[in-house]
Amino acid sequence: MSNIIIILAIFGWAILTYIAFRLNKTLGNIFVGLIAVALPVYYFTYVPEDYSFQVMGLTLQFGFTSFSSLFAILVVILGALTLLYSIPYMNKKDRLGWFYLNFLFSIGGMLGILMSKDFVSLFIFWEIMTWSSYLIVIFSGKKVNKVGVKYMVYSAIGAYAMLMAIVLINKWSGTTNISHFFETFADYSNGAKILSSLLLLTAFAVKSALMPLHVWAPNAYTNSPMSYTSLFSGALSKMGIYGMALVAIMLYTNTGMKFFGEALAWLGAITAVLATFWAVFQTDIRKLLAYSSIGQLGYIAVGLGIGTELGVMAALFLALLHGLFKGILFMAAGAIEYRTGKTDFSELRGLIWKMPVTFFSALVAIIALAGMPPLSGLISKWLIYEALLSSEHYFLIILIFLSSTAAFLYCFHFLYGVFLGQREDDIEDVKEAPALMLVPMVLMSFGLLALGTFPGLIFKHISSSMSYLGFNDVTWEMSVLTNEWGNKIYLTHLNTMFMVVFAVFFVIITLVARKKTRRVGTKDIANAGEPILAEDNYHFSQDFYKPFWRVISPVMKYRIETFYNSFANGIGEFFQFFRRVYTGNGQTYALYVVIFLTILFIVGATLI
Amino acid sequence: MDIWKLLLTGSVTTVLAFVVGMLYMGLRRKITARVQNRVGPPIYQNFLDVMKLWSKKSSINHGFMQHVAPLWMIATSITTLMFIPILNNGSTFFTNLTFEGDLIMLLYLMVVGSLGMALGAGQTGNPNSAIGVTRGLTQMVGFEIPWVMALVALMIQHRTTTVAGLLDVQVQSGTWLMLSSPFAFIAALLAIPGMFRYSPFDIVGAPAELASGPISEFGGKYLGTMMTNGAIFAFVKLTLFVDIFMGGASNLGFLLLKTFALYMFPVLWGLVSPRFRTEQAVRFFWGWPVFFGVLGLIQAAI
Amino acid sequence: MVADPILYVALPLLTAFLLPIIGKINKELIRIVPGLLFAFLVYNSIALFSKVSATHTPIIVEIAGWAPPIGINLVYSSFTGFIATIISVLALLVWAYSYKFKKLEFDNSLKYFVLLMLVTAGSIGVILTGDLFNQFVFLEIVALSSYPLVAFYRGRNGAEASFKYLLVGGFASLSILLGIVLIYSQLGTLNMADIAAHIDEMPRNIKIVSFTLLFLGFAIEAEMFPLNGWAPDTYSQAPGPIGAVFAGMTAKAGIYALIRMIYTIFDFSGAFEILLIMGVITLVVSEGIALRQENLKRMLAYSSLGQMGLLMIAFGINTKTAVIAGMLILFNHAVIKSLLFLSSSFLVYNSKDKLIKDAYGMGKKLPLTAILFGIGAFAIVGLPPFSGFWGKLYLLMASADANLLGLIALILAVSVIEIVYYFRVVNGVYFKKSKTEIEVHKPRWNASLAMIILAAAIIVVGIYPNIIYDYLVNAADTLLDKASYISHVLPNLASN
């Protein structure tokens, strides 16, 4: 069976699901569940086969490469889990058929991108992915123009940059085949090299929300239903990373244009720092996670930009990992929204007592995000630092460190603001999220836990996919990390040590304190001797990190968005001026005709 | 890896760290008292405090995260301790897991405890705790930067990321890194008071403002565990710094000498300085320490 | 059944004259007969076009037995046939759509269908004819039947728009006529092929003057900036389906005349550059103005002008890829813009000012129409898998081949502007609440069917463009091969 069938099957299934939902909601949900199960099963059992055909005189070619299949794994797994999660999450909403139609279209679009071996089909699927995700961004019907059109416009800028690159590549290489482009790239003139690679980079940078092209992302992530945002941030943005990796490695690192790789790395680092700073000051959990996503994607860009083996390893590992933990976090945000209807820190508190499983998953994800042992986040962080150290990026590493230290701030804010703090009566009716929403989160948490000690499980795939990019296929041990200077860390020892000590003390303190512990509510606290009344709540939710804001506010004043907006307005005003040409007066139009005729005569007499 | 040997040496190291840390903290109380013209508690007072806390009959608990927070912290401290070389003479007794980790990992490992603490403090519902945590995290963003700058400079210059590797460099060349890389040393040294959270950087606990902040709801065994942890962690920080910048120590006597000398720096500074506000602390760390850190990086780059 | 190019022109004209009489027999026939006629034209197109595609030789019809260059002839080639087919299909769809159009009373209905047939006959005539003066006549038929269509509702605005059109259209007629006169005075012939063959014999100055005059006249009909001031008014004032007619037929007739003149009749290479530059200006200005339009119809009209600009660019680049792109854009413009006009007129059916905000909230009230409008919007901005994408891709490829990097960037930048204003409307239709309560008029099944067919064409061609690719290549080859045009029309000339 050829590759393209899987895509067509998904699109076809999307339409069937739409019809099913028109008939009956339960039937529709069954359809969604079926594809969620079928997707991974089909993907991991079928034998890939290349396929190509002619359209409009262009050859479209399909087939996975060892590199793209790495991302396909992420898409398939995360796609299946988010679909499952969607079933209860979206159940109360209307227009479900429309939602799943676009959901499946974007999954199909993503797989299509990864399957494309030529630029035209890449672009087609890229655009299908874009508009289907756009339709989900505006699905809620809120802020459709402010958020939706903005998303579409930035996506279009990216996509059209790609389109321009494609037609130029078609001219210079004579074909739109991707690998042929990489092969002939060395023969391009310098201008052509720079132009084509920068255009492609722009296209991919938009999708992966690299500053200064990130402006659409926070709102788009926030505005779409959380079940989709999991996929959006977790997998869809990785399509940008996929392309960026190809550009950074195949075009920059492998052809000696290191300067551009460095620039990409610096952009990534700046993105990581600024996005993290913004995330720290968000008051909406969804926005916090959105900015955090942008920051994480910045790290990935750093790894790709420096282009050493460890760097790319780190980037790809983080790309997969980010899919998992950001998937969990957005799902957790969705679960909270589903049960409480609130997403603002000022309205949420104390959910740990009501949603312990959600809390556990979110905690695991946050630890992974922060990069702390014993979870897999440490590995991604470690790889990226080692890569930066061994390639002697003195200042880049400081930026990255600043960003990941500042990330602790929002990590705590998220956990504290939502799950901890002073409990209030308004959460008494809140229940734990439905099982079908918890299962994906818990599954992914276990994934993070497993990878924390045994990253070799996925290193094997990453390493073999990196051979496509021209790196050696290095064999990594199951749980030992080695840097370029031969320094190692033994994850089993680290994690076992930590967990054993923890367990020993846990047993001791639990046993010793078993009977003597007095369990009290969160209002029974030391408060200078003054009891807290039932109607008071001392939960700390306003002006979180105010001191930190005072420190960095000089930097945060400048927002690129303001500049873009005034630029867009400027264009609008510019054309307002042209509107005056159309006066609505017939005499003026007649005058134009005469003037045009005169000019034409003059031009004709001189030029022709 | 001989598990029984690790168990033995690990326990001995932990006890050593605990005792030394406790004594240092007792000394600090004594010194502070003498400077303030008081008699002060005996040096072993902290041992008594911990014993008292452990033997307290009841403890108040607000929830699961509070329950695990102290464990989380002490697990972190002890794990970190295992990865730090105590002596530089290649003695196998204090090796523990020294060769199985590196500095980057340690940097991250050392903050795990803070996260546990933060979550535990958050669950108590005391607003002072949460405010203290946010202050602590903010301050951390401040002092980590010069500290990491110093470490990065050394790591790249000597092309190793392990503590043992940096120790080897110093043993072989016979020069302490604080002398060969003075700028990095100054940057790191200035970051030390932030780590110890002594005045002027005691903004997390801030007795007069936050009623001891994050730990205000912890009592009994929880507080006892935390104090134990504090002692071990102080030893961890001091030893790590001595290993990196001051050539380590070939025997326990030197180790005590060097760590104590280093410990006196934040202690004495604290005696003469009033408390910073949070943003002042961050600005301080991002001022001169970062400047020296940059110089250190430039020195390493050249 | 017979199929002959002459029927394209003769039958509609005949029916238009007979329709009042037929109406006396039965009022229903006024509506039915035009439909039968258009259906026949579609059949005629399919029959002829398949023949032409199979043989790759144009069908030349000599009217009244006089052989060219003296007699008038019709040339049905892969190129002209393609456009004629689009127009006849479009006419059938517009008829289906307008059948029992609510605002038509009996009298109006007669007038409406008569004018529709005349516009169709005129537009196809412009495209098929091989005679310059004959082309002028057909163009006049188009113009004269367009004027009353613009003022169809007898309102003040309609009359004003119609008058503007008349005024500028008068200039066009005058200018074309003068150009023809000049050519005739020099060469003594009106046959295009004959003129093309002997164009070298004209003095350079007169050649330039006649070229300029013809260019001006045709450019007005092709809605080139700054000669298109009349167009937005006419589009917005005419009845809904007539917007589709203007975009799909009359504008096509104008651009065809322009292309034919530049490609075949004259031999100025600089003319392509003028067309290209004017296309760029038209594109940028029109799309820019559309950006802030508040009137839905005017927005579509400006967007339509922008598409005409794209067409001019495509034909101005003058390479084979570019001409293929031009044909694709021509097809897309006819199909997509018609769909947009047809669906939008239901969205703002009862609104007085046809404002965009009057269409707010129609997504719920008119789900089918709204989704069709949405498909049209997605297609016109060039999103795959809709047909608009391929036109844009080909145009960009042609620009790249011609080394026009700036042009690529410009076209794409303008596409971004297009996205902004189209998506705003689509979002508004679905998600905004209308402030004023406007009565909704639901499309009848026939109107829905017409729109669905257009949407289906957009999607089918978008997914599987190979379906029309061969025709496009043939059409491009035919247009570019000037020598074979002359030799087919004037077989004797070559032997002489």
Best residue of B5, B59, B123 to probe chain A, by most A CBs closer than 10 Å: B123
The backbone torsions φ and ψ at residue B177, rounded to the nearest 5 degrees and listed phi first, read -65, -25
Residue C63 has pLDDT above 50, yes or no: yes
Q: In terms of residue numbers, what domain contains B59? A: 3-301
Q: Quickly state the pLDDT bin for C456 (edges 50, 70, 90).
A: very high
User: How far, in Å, CA of C248 to CA of A496, rounded?
Assistant: 74
Q: Is the pLDDT of residue C107 over 70?
A: no
HEC readout, A550-599: HHHHHHHCCCHHHHHHHHHHHHHHHHHHHHCCCCCCHHHHHHHHHHHHHH
pLDDT at A186: 83
Per-residue pLDDT tens digits for A257-289 = 888 888 889 999 999 999 999 988 888 888 999
Nearest to A145 among C212, C288, C427 (CB): C427
Are A209 and A297 in contact by the 8 Å Cβ rule? The answer is yes
Best of A55, A126, A589, A592 to disrupt the C interface by mutation (most C CBs within 10 Å)? A589
Q: Do chains C and B touch (3 or more CB pairs under 8 A)?
A: no
Short-list A235, A336, A345, CA closest to A288: A345
Sign of CA dihedral A323, A325, A328, A332: negative
Mean confidence (pLDDT) of chain C: 86
The C-alpha of A586 sits at a distance from chain C's nearest C-alpha, in angstroms, of 5
pLDDT one-digit tens code per residue, C175-224: 999 999 999 888 888 888 888 888 888 888 888 888 888 888 898 888 88
Amino acid at A506: F
- Looking at residues B48-57, what average pLDDT do you find? 84
- Three-state secondary structure call for residue C78: helix
Q: Left (φ > 0), alpha (ψ -120 to 50) or beta: where does C358 sit? A: alpha
Contact list in B for residue A306 (CB cut-off 8 A) is none
pLDDT in tens, B33-50: 988 889 888 888 888 988
Beta carbons within 8 Å of C1's beta carbon, 6+ residues apart: C43, C47
Tokens coding A149: 């059109």
Q: How many CB atoms lie within 10 A of CB A510?
A: 14
Interface of A with B in 362-421 (CB under 8 A): 363, 367, 370-373, 378, 381-382, 385-386, 389-390, 392, 394-395, 397-398, 401-402, 405-406, 408-409, 411-413, 415-416, 420-421
Q: How far is CA B22 from CA B16, B50, B200, B233, C226, in A?
A: 10, 10, 22, 10, 88
Q: Which residue of A has its CA nearest to B105?
A: A382
User: Cβ A412–B67 below 8 Å, yes or no?
Assistant: no
| Residues in chain A closer than 8 A to B152 (CB atoms) | 389, 394, 397-398
Could you give the 3-state DSSP secondary structure of residue C131?
A: strand
Q: Find, among C251, C225, C39, C260, the residue nearest to C146 by Cα.
A: C251
**What average pLDDT does range A139-165 have in this prediction?**
87
| C-alpha–C-alpha distance, residues A4 and B138, integer Å | 51
Q: Which residues of chain A are within 8 Å of residue B83 when distances are taken between CB atoms?
A: 494
Q: How many domains are there within chain B?
A: 1
A303-to-A272, A300, A314 alpha-carbon distances in Å: 12, 5, 6
Chain A residues with CB-CB distance to B74 below 8 A: 501, 505
CA gap A246, A117 in Å, rounded: 12
Q: What is the Cα–Cα distance from C83 to C129, expressed in whole angstroms?
A: 13
Please list, residue by residue across A115-151, b when 16 or more beta carbons sit within 10 angstroms of its beta carbon and e when fewer do: bbbbbbbbbbbbbbbbbbbbbbbbbbbebbeebbbbb
Find the mean pLDDT for residues A534-554: 82
Cis peptide before C226 (omega within 30 of 0): yes
Whether residue B237 contacts residue B189, with contact meaning beta carbons closer than 8 Å, is answered with no
Beta bridge partners of A55: A58
pLDDT digits (tens, 9 = 90+) for C360-405: 888 788 888 888 999 999 999 888 888 888 888 889 999 988 888 8
Please tell me the least confidently modeled range out of A528-532, C48-52, C442-446: A528-532
User: What mean pLDDT do residues A12-16 have?
Assistant: 88
Interface A-C: count of C-beta contacts within 8 A: 168
- Residue type for B236, please? V
Question: What is the arithmetic mean of pLDDT over B111-137?
Answer: 85
What pairs with residue A59 in β-bridges? A54
Answer whether 0.90 is exceeded by the pTM.
Answer: yes
Residue type, B301: A
Greatest extent of chain B over all pairs of C-alpha atoms, in Å: 61
- A378 closest CB neighbour out of B65, B67, B108: B108
Mean pLDDT of chain A: 85
CA distance A230 to A329: 8
Question: SS3 helix, strand, coil % of chain A, rounded to 5?
Answer: 75, 5, 25
Cβ count within 10 A of residue B167: 24
The pLDDT tens digits of the residues spanning A23-71 come to 888 888 888 888 888 888 888 887 777 788 888 888 888 888 888 888 8
pLDDT in tens, B181-234: 888 889 988 888 888 888 788 888 777 777 777 877 887 788 888 888 889 999
* Residue A146 and residue A219 in contact, taking contact as beta carbons nearer than 8 Å: yes
A neighbour chains, 3+ CB pairs within 8 Å: B, C
- State whether residue B282 sits within 8 Å of chain A by CB: yes
- Which is it for strands B59-61 and C59-62: parallel, antiparallel or unpaired? unpaired
Distance CA A156, CA A163 (A): 10
pLDDT for the residue C177: 92
d(CA B141, CA A410): 12
Per-residue CA distances from C92 to C51, C368, C453 (Å): 21, 21, 11
Mean pLDDT, range A336-361, rounded to an integer:
86
Number of Cβ within 10 Å of residue A73's Cβ equals: 18
CA distance B123 to chain A (A): 5
Could you tell me which residues come within 8 angstroms of residue A62 by beta carbon, excluding any fewer than 6 positions away? A2, A3, A4, A50, A51, A52, A115, A116, A117, A121
Closest CA of chain A from B108, distance in Å: 6
Helical pair C251-260 and C132-150, crossing angle rounded to 10 deg: 160
Distance CA C240, CA C104 (A): 12
Chain A, residues 17-56, CB within 8 A of chain B, namely none
Residue A3: its pLDDT value, please?
67
Q: How far apart are CA A356 and CA A362, in angstroms?
A: 10
In this predicted structure, the answer to whether residue C159 has a pLDDT above a threshold of 80 is yes
Spatial CA neighbour of A86 closest among A33, A11, A150, A126: A33
Q: With contact defined as beta carbons under 8 Å apart, do C369 and C240 qualify? A: no
Average pLDDT over residues C106-113: 75
Band the pLDDT of A489: cuts 50, 70, 90.
Answer: confident
Provide the pLDDT confidence category of residue A1 given band limits of 50, 70 and 90. very low
Please judge whether A381 and B109 are an interchain contact, meaning their C-beta atoms are less than 8 angstroms apart.
no
Residue of A398, A453, A482 to mutate for B, most B C-beta atoms under 10 A: A398
Pairing of strands A517-519, B59-61: parallel
Please compute the mean of the pLDDT values over residues C424-451 and round it to a whole number. Answer: 82
Residue A586 touches partner C, C-beta closer than 8 Å: yes
Q: ipTM of this predicted complex?
A: 0.92
| Lowest mean per-residue pLDDT among A370-379, A480-489, B34-43 | A480-489
Interface contact flag, C427 A138, Cβ < 8 Å: yes
Cα–Cα separations (whole angstroms), residue C28 to C34, C99, C176, C241? 11, 10, 40, 20
Of A141, A156, A596, nearest to C419 by CB-CB distance is A156
Mean pLDDT value of segment C86-99: 89
Maximum pairwise Cα distance, chain A: 105
The answer to whether C119 and C245 have CB atoms below 8 angstroms apart is yes
Tokens of A36: 């969620």
CB spacing of B126 vs A371 below 8 angstroms: no
Mean pLDDT value of segment A154-165: 90
B247 C-beta neighbours (distance < 10 Å), count: 23
A361 is written with which tokens? 């998953």
Phi, psi of A539 (to 5 degrees): -65, 135
In A, minimum Cα distance to B214 occurs at: A526
When pLDDT is averaged across residues A187-191 and rounded to a whole number, the result is 84
In angstroms, the CA A379 to CA A451 distance is: 9
Q: SS3 for B213-262, per residue?
A: HHHHHCCHHHHHHHHHHHHHHHHHHHHHHHHHHCCCCCCHHHHHHHHHHH
- The residue-averaged pLDDT of A346-375 equals 87
What confidence score (pLDDT) does residue C138 get? 92
Scan for tokens 């500042």, then name that residue: A406
Whether C58 and C15 have beta carbons less than 8 Å apart is answered as no
Interchain contact B278–A (C-beta under 8 A): yes
Distance CA C448, CA A329 (A): 45
Residue C46: exposed, middle, or buried by beta-carbon count in 10 A (0-12, 13-18, 19+)?
A: middle
Put simply, whether B30 touches A (Cβ < 8 Å) is no
Q: DSSP for A482-548?
A: E-TTS-EEEHHHHHHHHHHHHHHHHHHHHHHTTTTEEE--TTS--STTPPPPTT------SSTTHHH
Give the model confidence (pLDDT) of A399-409 as tens digits. 998 998 888 88
